Amino acid sequence: MDNRAFLSHVDSTISKPNLKEHGRAVFILHDQLNMDAWPSWIREEKPLLIFMESAGKGNELPHHKKKAIYVLSSMRHFALECAEAGYPVHYHSTKGHFDDGLSEILSANEQLSMTFMTPSEWDSRERLRNIQAEFEDRVREIPNNFFLADPEEYKERVKDGWLMEYFYREMRRKSGYLMNGDQPEGGEWNYDEKNREKLPKDHPVPTIAETEPDEITQEVIEMVEEWYPDHFGNSENFTYAVTRRQALYRLNEFIDERLDEFGPYEDAMAQGQYKLFHSQLSVYLNNGLLLPKEVCDKAEKTYQNGEARLNSVEGLIRQIIGWREYVRVYYEAMMPEVRNANHFNFTKKLPEMYWSGETKMNCMSECLKPVIDEGYSHHIPRLMVLSNFSNLTETDPRELNEWFHLAYVDAYEWVVLPNVLGMSTFADGGVLASKPYVSSGNYINKMSDYCKHCEYKISKKTGEEACPFNYLYWNFIDKQRETFSKNGRANFMVNMFNKKSEDDKKAIWEGSEKFIEDLKRLN
């Protein structure tokens, strides 16, 4: 594996700095690609910038090919932009991990001191802190400035009963978004009850811009195909934005064309339509091409100008200053022990369909398709279909967590882990979510048109033709009754199961046992 064979564009554009001539360096990780989030002295003094491509990091999980392409191409583009802006840039490539590369550089250049920003992911942080221990006062850590909330301020409060809603209200007050003095705009903090509409038949949905891969991205695509041929997904039709300018275009397009209807159809799903009115901005927010404040500023301005309805703008701002920041606080408070969380003690492997996308269940195949094709789906397919099915089929939540981490382009451990082990699988036993997110096929039928196109019958509760979600759901409620009975919001489900006839109960148990046993699993 020749490390620089696929770096010809970077090598021919950036003139290699002589490291001996530099006293100060700044190490920029692949998810810290925005100079506005770095301290002003860096923009003023323009020290040496070090970027690191690490085959070791890429090999930790068989990440979606498009994730690998996105991460590498956006980092190369950013490094080239920094070089154009007058920064000396050292673009390093290592077969090992990035700390091996940094150790090499610091050992060979004793005059060099280095600043790094606290990585958002635990393992990268450990690696950099080890480098700091090795090179002592030559290496300095500065706080991560890519988020809005300081986790140190909230970490202690993360425990059962500390709801996202409390955190969100504090963030609204602090940021001033949609506030009239101390009161929320419109009188309510949350307009979610207006945000649960099904997409009407033939409702027009705007298309989203697609970026044609340039020479730099093409080179990365070739490299990913050669280095990671067996990774998840495919590299065809790569259309993600890879520069800040392109990401800003996507942001403006969302604000102008989709934000107004984002709210009402936030929970909707529709056959062949994967993005609906969602922003698809997590990809750009999570590596710094966009900053959370600028997205919220623009959304609020659009509301103030009367160009988007309140329930849509409040919904978006809540996702960003509420959920996104809250899951990061949770990650900081719960790591590293939470990695092993498994409240229900499920030990089964992930169903094979998560890899192949092949299944007779139309909702599952519709929700897996955009993940395999693009490494994306919006929140409801992730939560109410893909995670729901994994829970109901008694899959080890850590297996599901790993799959979400490798399959999505926006996945980084700080955000994927709380959403999977906290929110969607209840693996943490209820620290993040107040009850397990499981449902029968009724929810999917209510929020989508999937059931109309399915071989299974949503109206049937048990038997060969019945929607598997229907009996698996009641089986889950029965088997996990201890958890549901303790929960004031969910114990009525156990009572409902108890009231079923013995014949119905038997059909639920037998159907579920057979379905779960017959399900093909990954090795």
Ligand X SMILES: Cc1cc2nc3c(=O)[nH]c(=O)nc-3n(C[C@H](O)[C@H](O)[C@H](O)COP(=O)(O)OP(=O)(O)OC[C@H]3O[C@@H](n4cnc5c(N)ncnc54)[C@H](O)[C@@H]3O)c2cc1C
Q: Which of 30, 64, 244, 378 binds ligand X (CB under 6 A)?
A: 378
Structure tokens at 299: 């959304």
Contacts 24+ apart (CB under 8 A), 281-286: 281/247, 281/250, 281/251, 281/254, 282/410, 282/415, 283/70, 283/240, 283/376, 283/409, 283/410, 284/241, 284/247, 284/250, 284/251, 285/320, 285/324, 286/31, 286/410, 286/412, 286/415
Q: Binds 361, which of ligand X, ligand SF4, none (CB < 5 to 8 A, cut-off by type)?
A: ligand SF4
Task: Kindly state whether residue 493 participates in binding ligand X, applying the rule CB under 6 A.
Answer: no
Size of the site for ligand X (CB under 6 A): 28
In whole angstroms, give the CA distance from residue 266 to residue 204: 15
Q: Which is nearer to ligand X, 99 or 366 (CB)?
A: 366
Q: Which is nearer to ligand X, 89 or 416 (CB)?
A: 416
Q: Binds 433, which of ligand X, ligand SF4, none (CB < 5 to 8 A, cut-off by type)?
A: none
415 contacts: CB under 8 Å, gap ≥ 6: 282, 286, 324, 327, 328, 331
Task: Kindly state whether residue 361 participates in binding ligand SF4, applying the rule CB under 6 A.
Answer: yes
Q: Which of 106, 224, 411, 467 binds ligand SF4 (CB under 6 A)?
A: 467
Structure tokens at 407: 């399959």
Size of the site for ligand SF4 (CB under 6 A): 14
Q: Binds 467, which of ligand X, ligand SF4, none (CB < 5 to 8 A, cut-off by type)?
A: ligand SF4
Q: Is 395 left (phi over 0), alpha (psi -120 to 50) or beta?
A: beta
Do the beta carbons of residue 246 and residue 103 sit within 8 Å?
Answer: no
Helix (H, G, I), strand (E, B) or coil at 224: helix
Q: What distance, in Å, lies between the first and last C-alpha atoms of the chain?
A: 28
Least gap, CB of 155 to ligand X (angstroms): 17
Where do runs of H (alpha helix) occur along 93-158?
98-108, 122-135, 151-154
Nearest to 144 by CA among 328, 410, 418, 412: 328
Stretch of 46-54, 183-191, 440-448, 472-480 lying at the interface with ligand SF4 (CB under 6 A): 440-448
Nearest to 224 by CA among 44, 71, 425: 71
Least gap, CB of 468 to ligand SF4 (angstroms): 6
Q: Which of 382, 391, 474, 516 binds ligand X (CB under 6 A)?
A: 382
Least gap, CB of 253 to ligand X (angstroms): 12
One DSSP character per residue, 48-74 reads EEEEEEEHHHHTSS---HHHHHHHHHH
Q: Which is nearer to ligand X, 9 or 278 (CB)?
A: 278
In whole angstroms, give the CA distance from residue 244 to residue 221: 20
Q: Binds 451, which of ligand X, ligand SF4, none (CB < 5 to 8 A, cut-off by type)?
A: ligand SF4
Least gap, CB of 366 to ligand SF4 (angstroms): 8
Q: Binds 419, which of ligand X, ligand SF4, none (CB < 5 to 8 A, cut-off by type)?
A: ligand X
Structure tokens at 58: 């890429």
One DSSP character per residue, 378-427 reads -HHIIIIIIIHHHHHTTB-HHHHHHHHHHH-TT--HHHHHIIIIIIIS-T
Task: Kindly state whether residue 363 participates in binding ligand SF4, applying the rule CB under 6 A.
Answer: yes
Task: Kindly state whether residue 387 participates in binding ligand X, applying the rule CB under 6 A.
Answer: yes
Task: Kindly state whether residue 420 participates in binding ligand X, applying the rule CB under 6 A.
Answer: yes
Name residue 270's amino acid: A
Strand order in the sheet with 139-142: 89-94, 48-54, 24-27, 113-117, 139-142
Nearest to 67 by CA among 230, 276, 232: 232
Task: Kindly state whether residue 423 participates in binding ligand X, applying the rule CB under 6 A.
Answer: yes
Least gap, CB of 439 to ligand SF4 (angstroms): 9
Beta bridge partners of residue 91, listed in sequence order: 51
Least gap, CB of 320 to ligand X (angstroms): 5
Binding mask 278-317 for ligand X (x = CB under 6 A): xxxxx--xx-----------------------------x-
Q: Which is nearer to ligand X, 194 or 457 (CB)?
A: 194
Q: Binds 441, which of ligand SF4, ligand X, none (CB < 5 to 8 A, cut-off by type)?
A: ligand SF4
Task: Kindly state whether residue 268 participates in binding ligand SF4, applying the rule CB under 6 A.
Answer: no
Task: Kindly state whether residue 6 participates in binding ligand SF4, applying the rule CB under 6 A.
Answer: no
Report the interhelical angle of 468-479 vs 502-518 (nearest 10°).
100
In whole angstroms, give the CA distance from residue 9 to residue 6: 8
**Diameter of the chain by CA atoms?**
81
Q: Is 460 exposed, middle or buried (0-12, 13-18, 19+ CB in 10 A)?
A: middle
Structure tokens at 200: 């009407």
Task: Kindly state whether residue 32 participates in binding ligand X, applying the rule CB under 6 A.
Answer: no
Q: Which is nearer to ligand SF4, 385 or 416 (CB)?
A: 385
Q: Binds 454, which of ligand SF4, ligand X, none (CB < 5 to 8 A, cut-off by type)?
A: ligand SF4
Least gap, CB of 22 to ligand X (angstroms): 35
- Binding to ligand X, residues 309-368 (CB under 6 A): 316, 319-320, 323-324, 327
Q: Which of 155, 293, 379, 500 binds ligand X (CB under 6 A)?
A: 379
Q: Is 27 left (phi over 0), alpha (psi -120 to 50) or beta?
A: beta
- Binding to ligand SF4, residues 137-176 (CB under 6 A): none
Q: Which is nearer to ligand SF4, 341 or 466 (CB)?
A: 466
Q: Which of 74, 279, 311, 362 binds ligand SF4 (CB under 6 A)?
A: 362
| Interacting residue ranges for ligand SF4, rule: CB under 6 A | 361-363, 441, 444-445, 450-451, 454, 456, 458, 467-469
| Interacting residue ranges for ligand X, rule: CB under 6 A | 278-282, 285-286, 316, 319-320, 323-324, 327, 378-379, 382-383, 387, 404, 408, 410-411, 415-416, 419-420, 423-424
